[in-house]
Amino acid sequence: MAGEQQDHQTSVYHHDDQGNPVEQSSHDGDTVSETRLSDYWQANLKFLGALLVVWFSVSFGAGIIFADTLDQYTFLGFPLGFWFAQQGAIYVFVVLIFVYVIGMSRIDRAYGVEDDDKTSDTAGEHTS
Amino acid sequence: MSVQVLTYIFVGITFAIYIAIALWARAKSTTDFYVAGGGVHPVVNGMATAADWMSAASFISMAGIIAFMGRDGAVYLLGWTGGYVLLALLLAPYLRKFGQFTVPDFIGERYYSKAARVVAVVCLIFISFTYIAGQMRGVGIVFSRFLEVEIATGVMIGMAIVFIYAALGGMKGITYTQAAQYCVLIFAYMVPAIFISILVSGSPIPQLGFGGTMADGSGRAVLETLDGVLLDLGFGAYTAGAKSTIDVFAITAALMIGTAGLPHVIVRFFTVPKVSDARRSAGWALIFIAILYTTAPAVAVFARLNFVESVNEKPYEETPAWFRNWEDIGLVAWQDKNDDGRLQYRAGAPFAGAPDFTDERGESGQRLMANATTDTDNEVYVDRDIIVLANPEIAALPDWVVALVAAGGLAAALSTAAGLLLVISAAVSHDLLKKTFSPTLSERQELLYARIAIAVALGLAGLFGIYPPAFVAQVVAFAFGLAAASLFPAILLGVFSKRMNKEGAIAGMVAGLGFTFSYIVYFKFISPDSNTAANWLFGISPEGIGFIGALLNFAVAGLVAAMTAAPPQAVQDLVDDIRLPSGASVAHKH
């Protein structure tokens, strides 16, 4: 699952990356064509899907549904199912969000829709 | 110095800091007031989000509940942190890109309908009030135990403090205050946890300590020891679950979806400058949250072990001082069923209901109760909310640690209460007055109404705190079920389905909320006697029913949307725009 996705991402990278770094930080969403948006959205959904599979497996899977089965193994002194339910899943959650942050900024750049290099310095002010 | 003096000093210092920050970060515009000007650094915002989100329930109640639930307590750990992942991945970046002030703003614009906005406001107010009542109750407990004032007085002092910095500073004041409150609360949580972990297991890292061996030289594992002690007293083993798997699954799911739908947490992502900041900020917040959430189950294990050892079979006269202190405010009680003058702590309820004290004292000096006895051997009543607060005393830690925990509990309760008050006030002044009934309102008037709304909301919340409906975490669980069944599906569909229209969203919210609300009210209030697994739908308890409510919401919304017209082109374009991170600017006026 992960490998397949990796391929997709990198191929898009080569295809699209260098071209549009300037237009992309435009404030106007219209400069992004419909097809590019839809490709971007598909890549986004695929990535989200993969992360949610992990999210589900460690919490509902290892921590709840298979907890009793996993409890026969010991990890760091804990029954394994108990550890996933009360410790492990939370660590994985933290990692997941950071993988998401990094992965998404890659996808954003690959499709030229990232929001970096813009607005952050002046952000507090120009509201009225 | 006595514990009480130390507590006054700690609480006094922290309150002075909060108010100083509020004065420094006073809100000047509605943008400041609702979304802190949209210019908060992701790490600061992460801390503020963590404090906002870790309520009195997380700080005061959670470890206590886990201590008495054992493995099943994971529903709270998994539910509250796992929901955070959903929020970070599925909602936060898109809502930031959308860039308005409130959750009903999003629902109202996305579903091009005042009716949808009003439905969202009603959901939001209901959820926030349920939740805030729990916070005020937490404030009351801390005040009455550590500062020895009446619960009602404690609640009123808490209200006054929150009012000062929420009404003055708005979101800007609240954000910076909450970052400070995070530091106070995490320090206050970790210090006793580390102490106790060293005492019980010899390990300075609680997360590892409760998987280690006892420090008493017996060489037995901590969890094994606890399982043994509990089985001897007639309880179930700590590391085994007592609830059915489907119920644990549903409760966890309801808490997860509910967390992701909590308006006061969602609105935090409106305060950072960019979409990528919203993503990063969610990551930081979860790190800050995880520090407490991985410590809580360790605290639970140590506390349960210490509690049994310091209470069971002790003659009343020899019980530690904390036992009698908490007895004085009615959160622990002892009924000497076999007249041996010793406390027998066993499984089962000691007597029917919460203690109903008479003014008399028994032979050993204990407070007597009018409650009807049950036929269990258990003689000890303990309110689970006290475990974290009493923990330092149970483990005989220094007085300053006890005082620190009191200040931390207040920080947790106040930070969450302030965040909730803000979304209530924004919902009333912005969504109801400005956007629905009186569009000509000037910015100054809107700000004034926002501040009035905070005052009114605070007054009502205080009443709930003084006359609490149930104990802290249970009240909060109710709010989660409702958030799961109403707001989360509507927002998610709004981003991920272009075809979703106003008819579908409104029908979904009404169906989800109506179903969940009726189910909970039926089993909790109308017919509490029938609140058993045999009568539940699919064996799912009222705590977990929000999961079914959310599924119902999705199903009804999809069905109704398929039978009605697609949303207008402008709205479909809006969805396209939300999905693109670039071009995200500051939350704009409208």
Task: Say yes or no for a CB contact (<8 Å) between B580 and A40.
Answer: yes
Which residues, given as ranges, of chain B have pLDDT below 70?
1, 26-39, 101, 169, 438, 441, 468-477, 525, 528, 531, 533, 583-590
- Residue A2 pLDDT greater than 70, yes or no: no
User: Which letter, b or e, does each residue of B478-511 get, where b requires 16 or more Cβ atoms within 10 Å of its Cβ?
Assistant: bbbbbbbbbbbbbbbbbbbbbebbbbbbbbbbbb
Domain boundaries, chain A: 43-115
pLDDT at B467: 74
The residue with tokens 């992360």 is: A51
Question: Using CA atoms, how far apart are residues A41 and A24, in angstroms rounded to an integer?
Answer: 16
Task: Say yes or no for a CB contact (<8 Å) between A29 and B82.
Answer: no
Backbone angles phi, psi at B431, to 5 degrees: -80, -40
The one-letter amino acid at B442: S
pLDDT at A53: 93
- Residue A15 pLDDT greater than 50, yes or no: no
pLDDT at B469: 58
pLDDT at A4: 39
- Residue A5 pLDDT greater than 70, yes or no: no
**How far apart are the CA of A99 and the nearest CA of chain B, in angstroms?**
9
Domain boundaries, chain B: 3-307+393-579, 332-382
**Which residues on B lie below 8 Å from A67 (Cβ)?**
71, 241
This model of the complex carries an ipTM of: 0.84
Chain B interface disruption, residue of A64, A78, A98, A120, most B CBs within 10 A = A64
Architecture in CATH of B3-307+393-579: Up-down Bundle (1.20)
For residue A79, list its beta bridge partners: A74
- Residue A20 pLDDT greater than 50, yes or no: no
pLDDT at A126: 36
The residue with tokens 């948006």 is: A37
Q: Of the given ranges (A56-70, A85-99, B488-502), which has the lowest mean pLDDT?
A: A56-70
Chain A interface disruption, residue of B32, B53, B72, B78, most A CBs within 10 A = B78
**Which residues on A lie below 8 Å from B88 (Cβ)?**
97, 100
**CB–CB of B375/B22 below 8 Å?**
no
**Where do runs of H (alpha helix) occur along A57-88?**
67-70, 80-83
**How far apart are the CA of B99 and the nearest CA of chain A, in angstroms?**
12
- Residue A119 pLDDT greater than 70, yes or no: no
The residue with tokens 């009195």 is: B56
The DSSP code for B351 is B
Residue B260, number of CB atoms within 10 A of its CB? 27
Name the residue in chain A with its Cα closest to that of B207: A87
**How far apart are the CA of A7 and the nearest CA of chain B, in angstroms?**
22
Task: Say yes or no for a CB contact (<8 Å) between A94 and B239.
Answer: no
B84, B294, B580 ranked by CB distance to A37: nearest: B580
The H or E element that residue A79 is part of is strand A78-79
Name the residue in chain B with its Cα closest to that of A128: B589
Name the residue in chain B with its Cα closest to that of A28: B583
Q: Is B70 left (phi over 0), alpha (psi -120 to 50) or beta?
A: left
Question: Using CA atoms, how far apart are residues B415 and B161, in angstroms rounded to an integer?
Answer: 11
The DSSP code for B358 is E
**How far apart are the CA of B489 and the nearest CA of chain A, in angstroms?**
17
Per-residue tokens: B335: 């009924």
**DSSP per-residue letters across B508-529:** HHHHHHHHHHHHHHIIIII-GG
**Cα distances (angstroms) measured from residue A61 to each of A55, A65, B73, B81, B254:** 9, 5, 16, 15, 16
**CB–CB of B430/B101 below 8 Å?**
yes
**Cα distances (angstroms) measured from residue B502 to each of B160, B432, B509:** 40, 18, 11
A48, A60, A63 ranked by CB distance to B89: nearest: A48
pLDDT at B234: 74
Task: Say yes or no for a CB contact (<8 Å) between A60 and B213.
Answer: no
Task: Say yes or no for a CB contact (<8 Å) between B239 and A82.
Answer: yes
Coil, strand or helix at B368 = strand
**Which residues on B lie below 8 Å from A120 (Cβ)?**
273-274, 277
Name the residue in chain A with its Cα closest to that of B574: A29
pLDDT at B32: 65
pLDDT at A27: 42
**Which residues on A lie below 8 Å from B293 (Cβ)?**
90
Whether residue A92 lies within 8 A of chain B, CB to CB, comes out as no
Residue B530, number of CB atoms within 10 A of its CB? 11
